[in-house]
Structure 1
Amino acid sequence: MRALLPFTLLFVAAPALAGAAPLMKATPEAGAEGRIITKGASWNCTGGDCKTMSDASRPNILCERLAKEVGRLASFSVNGRAMDQTALAKCNAKAK
Structure 2
Amino acid sequence: MIRHLVLFKLNEGVERDDPRVVAGEEAFRALDGKIPEIRFWELGWNVSDRPIAYDFAINSGFEDAAALRTYAEHPEHQAGVALWKEFATWVVADYTY
TM-score, normalisation: structure 1: 0.40
Tell me which of the two structures has the higher relative contact order, counting C-alpha pairs closer than 8 angstroms and 6 or more residues apart.
Answer: 2
Give the greater-gyration-radius structure (CA): 1
TM-score (norm 2): 0.40
**Larger helix proportion, structure 1 or 2?**
1
